[in-house]
Structures are given as C-alpha cells and as structure tokens.
Amino acid sequence: MLLAVSLCLMAGYDLPGILFARRRESVPRIGALHIAFTSFCAYALSHVLGAPALSAAAIRLRLYAQWRVPAAGIARIVAISGSMFTFGLLTLLGLLLLLDPVAMPLFGHAVPAWALRAVGAALVFAMALYVAAVGGRTSVVIFRQRLALPGPRLALLQVFYGCADISTACAILYVVLPDTPGLSYAHVLGVYLAAFAAGIFSGLPAGVGVFDSVLLLGLSVYLSPATALGAILLFRVLYFLAPACAAALCYAGNELWTNTRKRKS
C-alpha cells in the first residue's frame, strides 16, 4: 500500500511545475499520462544515476521537448520540481527538531534540546517566510534578471508534496524494519532524513555507501548491523531498484518508439 502511494507521488511530482509553467508560459496541453510518465522517469532514474538535480533536469528536458513544451516552460517545471524535495526535507527536519529533538540521531542526546529546538524553529520559520515572500509579488529581479515566483498556493503545494513524498518513503523503511522496543517512526525519520540528505549531496548513484552507512550508524543503537543491513537492502530494492528498472524500460521504449516514428516519417 505504501509503495503504491509512493509510486503515485513519483508520477505526480511534476504537477506543481506544470501548473506554474502554464501560468507563465503558453504551454500546450499535455496529457496526464505524459506528465506521469515524465515525472516518474525523472524521479526514479535520477536517484540511481547520481547527481539527481542534473540527471532529472536532463530527463525532463528530453521528454518535455517531445511534447513541444517551450524552453522557458521546461525551466519552470525543473525549478519547481527540483526544489520540492529540498523544501520537504527542511520542513520535516525543522518539525522533527522542534517537536522531538531527542529523536535526531547522533545529536539528540549530545546537544541540548533547546538548541535543537531553536534550529528546528529557524527551519520552519524559513519555510513559512518563503511561502509568505512569494505571496506578495509575482516576480523578483536577481542580477538584472526577472524571475517569476510561484505564488503562495503553489509554494504551499511544493512544501506539502515534498513532505508527503519523504514521509511515505520513510514509512516504507519503517515497515521493513523489525519491531524493536524504543524504535519509533520519529527516530527512523530522523535517521532517514540525515541519510538521504548525505546520499544526495554526495552525488553518488542512489547515495550508495553514504546513505547505507548513515542508516547503519543511526540504527545501530536499536538493531544489530546484520538485521539493519538486511532491512536497508530490502528498502533499496523496493524504493530504488524496482521503480528505476520500470522507469528505464519505459524510457527506453519511448526512445525506441520516437526514433522509429522519425525514421518512418
């Protein structure tokens, strides 16, 4: 059930960007299946190819260009979709530090709770400030370039969608872990946020090595290394490998069909 919800979130990841692009550009009507296909391929493949920001942008550029979306529209889709994960990560991290700082791995018992709550409040305030800032204007000038802003509703959708995506993925990891006294969803979420952030910023495909090491370190207090590693490998198969294989087959099939059609014409 959770995996199905996660796959649906992957397929709808580009919807806020599409709404933003249609508001600012003359974007042609794109079918829901095309949007879901592009969003799923970009999301699933970028996590295993490495440098997800660049690889996802390249996939979106390739596919949306086939649907005749103008370059400016693609840039807006990439900007909105590419920032959602970061906004979700910062929001969840801020809420976790603010509401349950002890659940934060490595720092929960080493740093005073008031200091962690202060950091959490600052992160939540920063996200609230972003939503408020984009609500008062339609564009902003940076380095003499006028950049369009999404508005408060799309900004809230960005934050909410990013939080829903990360929370669901973490729930999958929590389900595959064995029942352990003291290991709550909040603790797993804290470990997961740290591991996923480290894996993404490392630039390695699927954060291999980095993601797993941080998860093992954070879960070592509750589980044996062998038990934790088995659960992590199962999570990788369910969340990373299976969607990536499906996306690779879909993407390859689309490329084959597109090239065949061009040759016939």
Give 135-151 pLDDT, tens digit per residue.
766 767 766 667 777 88
What residue spans define the domains of the chain? 2-264
Strand ranges inside 88-240, DSSP E: 139-142, 145-148
What residues pair up with 152 in beta bridges, in sequence order? none
Distance CA 191, CA 258 (A): 42
Place of tokens 């596919």: 63
The tens digit of pLDDT for each residue in 162-195 reads 999 999 999 999 999 988 887 889 889 988 988 8
Helices 15-24, 152-176: crossing angle, 10 deg rounding? 170
* pLDDT for 219 beyond 90: no
What percent of the chain has pLDDT above 70? 89
In terms of phi and psi (left: phi > 0; alpha: psi -120 to 50; beta: otherwise), the region of 207 is left
Report the predicted TM-score, pTM, of the whole model to 2 decimal places: 0.87
Distance CA 82, CA 79 (A): 5
Q: How confident is the model at residue 206 (pLDDT cuts 50, 70, 90)?
A: low
Measured at the CA of 101, the angle between CA 98 and CA 102, to 5 degrees, comes to 160
What pLDDT is recorded for position 248?
93
The tens digit of pLDDT for each residue in 95-121 reads 988 888 877 766 556 678 888 889 889
The tens digit of pLDDT for each residue in 15-52 reads 888 888 887 667 778 888 999 999 999 999 988 887 77
What pLDDT is recorded for position 261?
76
